[in-house]
Every structure is written in structure tokens, then in C-alpha cells.
Amino acid sequence: MLTVAEAEARILAHAKLRPVESVATADATGRVLREDIRTDRDLPPFDRATMDGIAIAYAPERAEFRIEGIQAAGRSAGQLADPAGCFEIMTGAMCPVGADTVVPYEDVEIANGRARIKAPVERGQYLHRQGADRKAGDVLLHAGARLRSPQIAIAVSAGLARLTVAKPPRLAVVSVGDELVEPGAPAERYQIRPSNAWGLRAALQGLGCPEVELARLPDDPSRIEAALSDLLERNDGALLSGGVSRGKYDFVPGALERLGVVVELHRVAQKPGKPMWFGIAPGDKPVFALPGNPVSTLVCFHRYVKPFLLQSLGARAELPEFIACAEAIEPHPTLTLFLPIRRDASGARLQTYHGSGDYAALGESDGFIEAPPGDSAIPAGASVRYHRWDV
């Protein structure tokens, strides 16, 4: 069996860079940027007030100023007519010509058209100087950035109504098993609902891959093969859940191989998720066949499918994240353990759960940690690899 690191390397070696497309900035949330974004002007574009108050020409010997006007945000800069004058100024407004310092209202008394300063003042205080953040032409976002709320705000600040992003793959998400019944339909005691497929679809959408075709297949080899043939024909790849182990009704690996999907790995030294399968279909289409137990499915997605998709979309590589475990962990002698955890002020605590079928426990967890194989306990306080449920 491959180790977790070997499986990851073998999978990522097949991540081919996706093409690009232009989309409206309003529709780009969650996508991966494939162009550098540069600012079209200095940031800020003018000397701007960071407090409501008065704008003055710094004069430590003077405490009282005559109010010449009001400088509102969104207006061109006024001009001081007299060094002993001032403008009332609003947060975000241009500094009037001739002024170089802002005194907040909290430090000023205003009466009869005059402002009297009642606290010490430093030259240039409460002014955000033009170009202090970036100069015109500087890169604001590099290609490979994932477009979340800060990045969208930055793109809009640069005046961009459209962005060049990676074109996401269209993916089939397939549940396999006679025991499955759709949500909303009554379920017999021996039936379950296809939570894995819906969880995978949600994760894909969180990665900026909205085009997902859901399919549910019975435990029938010929029907599985025919359906997978159709699904791979009209999609860019597939994620399957169930039917991949060594049971008498696990028909997925055989069906995929008969369809010409070249198997790259089957079985990884990990728990849960040991039966995981990965291959490449004709047309360089990736196929992940994930074990059907719900914890196995989601753990394998976040550990392998997510980095594969991000690399193919051109996302910048993310550094591995580590967290201190607040309690000792007993490792498995030969398998990497994926263990759900909850985060608190002391670090990570193991989430109580009853094996890979206990999907309910995931709702109270923040992610999972990797405990490498070994013969001795991982002590409390040790740093371990951490994967958060961020999609």
C-alpha cells in the first residue's frame, strides 16, 4: 500500500492546469485568479483624513483656528486662505490644500465659528498619506490568489469589472448503492440518504467549481459501467462515493477499468479511507473513487481531491497547517490516522466519534488531524498536521 505522502504525490502529478475565462467580478467569488492585478493609481489616491475633526496647518504655538468651511468626503479639496484657519473635515475626505494635520473632534471645542484645540497635536496626525499603501502600477493581487471577500474588494478598488480566472471543471459526483434514497423521500430502516454526494457538491462549490452533476447508481455492474461511461463523456472528471472496497457488491473499480480508466492507486495506508481509488480516464479526466463511509469520503476529499483541484486551477500552493494537540494520541503501528478535532484555547481536542460511519460527529468538529504511524504515543502539546473544514 502507498503511504499518505506517496498517494498525494502520485495524485498531484496528474493535476493539469485548467484553461482560463473572463468573468464579471461580481461572479468571481471563490474562483482562482489567473492574472496579476495592479493598482491604477496611488493608494490612497490622495491625503485622506482618518478621523472626523478639523484640518489645520500644523502650528504648535497656535491653539485657536477660524473655521473656513467643511471638507466632506467625495469633494475636491478646498484650500486654506489663512494659516490661522481650518476646515472641519470628515473621515475619508481629501485634506485641504495648505493643511497637513487633522485634530479629531474629541480634542476640539467649537463655538462661534472658531475651533479651540485642547490636547497635544503631532504634525501629520490622522492623515493617511497619498501612496502610503501602494504606488500606481504596484501588484495588488498575484495570479493564483483565491478570490474571497478581501480579494474581491481589492479587485473592485482597482476598477476591474471583469477578471481572468481559471475555468473550473464540470464534475460528476456519483453515489453508488442500493441502500440510497433521495432527501425528501421516506426512508426505510435499511435505507440511507446520499449525504456524501451532497457534501462533496458543497465542497466543490466552495472551491469555485459550481458545475456539478449528481448521479445515484444501483449495485449493478452493467448499469454502473453504462452510467459511468455517459457521465465521463459529458464531464471533465468524476468523484464517486461507495462501491470501491473489496466486498462482493463493490463493482466500481472493475467498471472503471473496463472503461479504460488507468488506475494510479488503490488502497492507501490510512484510516479511515484505506480503499481509496484514483485513476485517469481517456481525455486526461481524473476519477476519484472514495470509500462510502461518510467520514472517509470527506476526509479523502479534503486530503487529496481539494489540493488536486486547487493545483489544477492554478492556485498558489498553501503551506501545511499544524496545530498543537491538547491530549496524547495513540497512533496506529502502520496506518496514518485521520482524527476529527475541535479547536479551543488549548489547541486541538479529539472529537468523540464512533468510526468512519459517524457523520454526525463532524458537525461538532472544526477539521481533522493526521497522526502518522508509530509505536509510541504522540505527547500532548505536540504539533500535528491539521486540515480544516473550510469548504
> Among residues 35, 10, 284, which one has the least CA distance to residue 169?
284
On the CB side of 150, how many CA atoms lie within 13 Å of its CA?
A: 4
Long-range CB contacts for residues 88-92, cutoff 8 Å, separation at least 24: 88/53, 88/54, 88/55, 88/115, 89/49, 89/52, 89/53, 89/54, 89/55, 90/49, 90/52, 91/49, 91/50, 91/51, 91/52, 92/48, 92/49
**333 vs 309: CA distance, rounded Å:** 31
CATH topology of domain 23-40+134-166: Molybdopterin biosynthesis moea protein, domain 2 (3.90.105)
Is the pTM value of this prediction over 0.85? yes
CATH for the stretch 4-18+170-313: 3.40.980.10
Q: What is the dihedral of CA 278, 280, 281, 284, to 10 degrees?
A: 150
Question: Contact at 8 Å (CB) between 92 and 45?
Answer: no
Q: What does the pLDDT read at residue 100?
A: 98
Q: How many degrees, rounded to 5, is the angle at CA 142 between CA 140 and CA 147?
A: 85
> Among residues 327, 340, 329, 325, which one has the least CA distance to residue 377?
329
Q: What does the pLDDT read at residue 345?
A: 83
Q: What does the pLDDT read at residue 220?
A: 87
Q: What does the pLDDT read at residue 243?
A: 73
Q: Please list the residue range(s) of the chain that carry CATH number 3.90.105.10.
A: 23-40+134-166
Q: Please list the residue range(s) of the chain that carry CATH number 3.40.980.10.
A: 4-18+170-313
**75 vs 73: CA distance, rounded Å:** 6
pLDDT tens readout for residues 268-312: 999 999 999 999 999 999 999 998 888 899 999 999 999 999 999
**166 vs 315: CA distance, rounded Å:** 9
Q: What does the pLDDT read at residue 157?
A: 94
CATH for the stretch 48-128: 2.170.190.11
Question: Contact at 8 Å (CB) between 79 and 96?
Answer: yes
Q: Which residues of the chain have pLDDT under 50?
A: none
CATH topology of domain 321-388: Beta-clip (2.40.340)
pLDDT tens readout for residues 211-256: 999 998 888 888 999 999 999 999 999 999 877 766 665 788 899 9
Q: What does the pLDDT read at residue 249?
A: 56
Question: Contact at 8 Å (CB) between 25 and 160?
Answer: yes
Give φ, ψ of 245 to 5 degrees: -85, -150
Question: Contact at 8 Å (CB) between 162 and 23?
Answer: yes
- CB atoms inside a 10 Å sphere around CB 107: 17
**101 vs 58: CA distance, rounded Å:** 6
**135 vs 152: CA distance, rounded Å:** 20
Q: Please list the residue range(s) of the chain that carry CATH number 2.40.340.10.
A: 321-388
303: three-class secondary structure by DSSP: helix
Give kind and range of the element (H or E) at residue 132.
none
CA-atom Rg of the chain in angstroms: 29
